[in-house]
Structure 1
Amino acid sequence: MKKSIIKRLFIKLSRFLGYEIIDQNDFSSPTLQKELNEDLSIINKKSIILPLGEVKITKKVNSVMIIFRTNTDVEIWDQNKKRLFEELKIEYSLRALKSLIRSVNFSKTKYPDIKFKTVIVDDKSRKENLDKLKELIDGSGLDIGITPLDCEKYKDTIKQQKNDQTFSNLASLLQSFELGKEHGEDLIFFVEDDYLHFEPMIEEMIASYERIASQVNSDIFMCPADYPYLYMNNEKTNILIGNKRHWRTINQTLCTFMTTKSLLDKYWDNFYNTCLDRNDPFEKYLNEIYKKEFCISPLKSLSLHLTNVNSSYGLSPFIDYKKLWDENES
């Protein structure tokens, strides 16, 4: 009985002082009142990974703005190839949106105090396609709005392109960046409509952002996809521990990534210049940022870029593509 009383007092004292106790004998944490195979981290407070211990969270997340770019007609921009499964583009847009909705709702159950807002920047979808998108939105229970692309606004800003598709893509990207700059708060997730997301994607990105950004004491960029091109050269990388998986440092992304409002403001010229012309590579000015700031991608992938099967910017390795595709049937 005396030992039991001393143990309870020690647990209370440890909790009061902000320490956590691990009891390896019964595989539990008495201070957290959890089994060790449960999620031990506390969002906006501490990240706990066995056996690495605790990271105090200094980079807290209270809001996430998601900017989802859609073009429901163009099969593959700037190419004459077919995507995996060879469906019409609207089918990819619908499944991408459905997977994103599932991921946000999953995250909301874990982090109910974080505010989520989604804006869809739509590039001239036909009414029948817009109605399909709206049907998904209406059943989502989320704060999602559709903003039509205003190409006219950028006719004197973006250089004349070889075709309307290229101009619209640049205009859509610039409008998305401007929305993030004007309305974003903590994290801003720019995402295109040809990515399928695993349900824990948003949760893992938020929790891993808090842990890794707090460790390096700096805001960071995060890409949700593990692209095949990352394995086609002999570049060195650093491996980091996130919330529930490893992450690696990278120096290139496409235009689907998450970052902070402060980094968007800091490197606004890079974001803006990305959209003024068809650069080579397209993300040239974004990649320049990663020479100065941390950019990471997950191992293994949290999202799947549904391009042609032979694209080096497409299918992430070790993913059951068909299963993920079928799970998000619209």
Structure 2
Amino acid sequence: MKIQKKVNKNSLFKKFFIKICRMLDYEIIDQGNFYLPITNQEINEDLSIIGKKSLTIPMGRVEITRPVKSLTVILRTCASVNMLTQSKKRLFDREKSEYTLRSLSSIINSLNFARELFKNIDLEMIVVDHNSEKDLVEKIKSILASQFFKNRFIHLDVDSFKKNINPINEKNEKVSFNQMSNMSNIHQSLLLAKGCDDLIYFVEDDYIHSIHAIKEMILSYEKLSSMLKQELILCPTDYPYLYSKIDNSKILLGDKSHWRSIKETLCTFLMSKEMVIKYWEELISTCKFEHYPFEKPFHNIYEKEYCLSPMPSLAIHFTNINSVFGISPNVDWKKVWDESKLK
């Protein structure tokens, strides 16, 4: 007796349907198995493709019309100054040099986690240092030398910038030498930014980053800039002061994080070269005159442009625990600290 093989018509139809959807560039989800048959991925995998599409379940796909071409990380270091405007101790009460090294290491760890992205995006890190001890400088240079990305170390010449600084600030007080050093470092960083191609991440040496920070910032920049059809500013930190008053905010969905519109940051943020050129006078004014608050010119920019910060935080400002500019809420900051050593 001849055995008849059963043909699963549903299976044949499913394969044919998937093939057609793939040809038409459609996304479909097998919700019974949490599976995307078109791309052969589990639903909880990284679904976005840098420069092409952002895919978030269940919101769907966003075509990337504003791809990121390059990222330059400009890290400003000064291990000789514990805290610029405070005499209080930092969380964990360590030497400033340890916060500097942990900030550098956490950024490098985050860049390595996002390494796959940099097959299509040019990457460079520049460290601009003032007055750190020789041993620390050599350690930073040694760490940079073993990385997969281009890097530079610049010794800041404060004297070449001091002549541009008004010695009296907005409070009619004398500008301190440490503040002049800070203003000079920002000035140097902005000049470097003019020579960059696309995104610049200006960051201070007391921000410890989660492993996901850089990847989330790049993918979210592409997605949200494409959706809003304009350039953005991204701040990686969810500061406590953002909860000290009730402000209206827009909540946007990035790649993996929620982002909200804000009107204030400190001096750590990501912006494009296009924005640097557009707001050059506002940005450079922070290097010539000490405003009150210091970041006032930045805040004026945020009245005109989208500035977004993540919830929860992607990077934590390790200052005094009671500072409204410090430890982000609802984050395991001890875990972030413990993971901030170079891997």
Same fold (TM over 0.5): yes
CA contact (8 A) 1:108 1:114 kept: no
CA deviation after TM superposition for structure 1 residue 293, in Å: 0.5
CA contact (8 A) 1:43 1:111 kept: no
Residue 177 of structure 1, aligned match among 190, 195, 199: 190
CA contact (8 A) 1:240 1:247 kept: yes
Aligned positions, number: 329
- Equivalent residue, structure 2, for 1:220: 232
Distance in 1 separating the partners of 2:36 and 2:118:
21
Structure 2 alignment gaps of length 5 or more: 1-6, 168-173
The worse-fitting range, judged by mean Cα deviation, of 306-315 and 15-24 is 15-24
Identical-residue share of aligned pairs (%):
44
Query: Cα deviation per residue 1:119-148 (whole Å; 9 max; x = unaligned)?
Result: 001112221121121232233333221011
Q: TM-score, normalised by structure 2?
A: 0.92
Alignment of 1:63-74 (within 5 A): 63-74=70-81
Report the RMSD for the aligned CA atoms in angstroms: 1.5
CA deviation after TM superposition for structure 1 residue 260, in Å: 0.8
CA deviation after TM superposition for structure 1 residue 163, in Å: 2.3
- Equivalent residue, structure 1, for 2:306: 294
Secondary structure of 2:114's counterpart equals: helix
Distance in 1 separating the partners of 2:273 and 2:258:
25
Residue 168 of structure 1, aligned match among 181, 193, 201: 181
CA deviation after TM superposition for structure 1 residue 111, in Å: 4.5
Structure 1 alignment gaps of length 5 or more: none
Secondary structure of 2:336's counterpart equals: helix
- Say if 2:334 is the partner of 1:327: no
Residue 32 of structure 2, aligned match among 22, 25, 30: 25
Larger Rg: 2
Q: TM-score, normalised by structure 1?
A: 0.96
Query: Cα deviation per residue 1:91-144 (whole Å; 9 max; x = unaligned)?
Result: 110111000110111111355322210000111222112112123223333322
- Equivalent residue, structure 2, for 1:55: 62
Query: Cα deviation per residue 1:27-82 (whole Å; 9 max; x = unaligned)?
Result: 21111111112121111111111111111111101210110000011000022111
CA contact (8 A) 2:50 2:117 kept: no
Residue identity in the other structure for 1:244: K
Query: Cα deviation per residue 1:272-309 (whole Å; 9 max; x = unaligned)?
Result: 11111111010100100111111100010000101111
Residue 327 of structure 2, aligned match among 315, 325, 330: 315
The worse-fitting range, judged by mean Cα deviation, of 4-13 and 155-164 is 4-13
Distance in 1 separating the partners of 2:50 and 2:198:
14
Secondary structure of 1:325's counterpart equals: helix
Residue 270 of structure 2, aligned match among 255, 258, 278: 258
Distance in 2 separating the partners of 1:5 and 1:186:
47
Residue identity in the other structure for 1:300: P
- Equivalent residue, structure 2, for 1:8: 15
CA contact (8 A) 1:14 1:31 kept: yes
In the TM superposition, structure 1's runs of 4+ consecutive aligned residues that sit over 6 Å from their partners are: none
Alignment of 1:1-330 (within 5 A): 1=7, 2-160=9-167, 161-181=174-194, 183-329=195-341
CA deviation after TM superposition for structure 1 residue 88, in Å: 1.1
The worse-fitting range, judged by mean Cα deviation, of 136-145 and 34-43 is 136-145
Query: Cα deviation per residue 1:194-215 (whole Å; 9 max; x = unaligned)?
Result: 0000011000000111111111
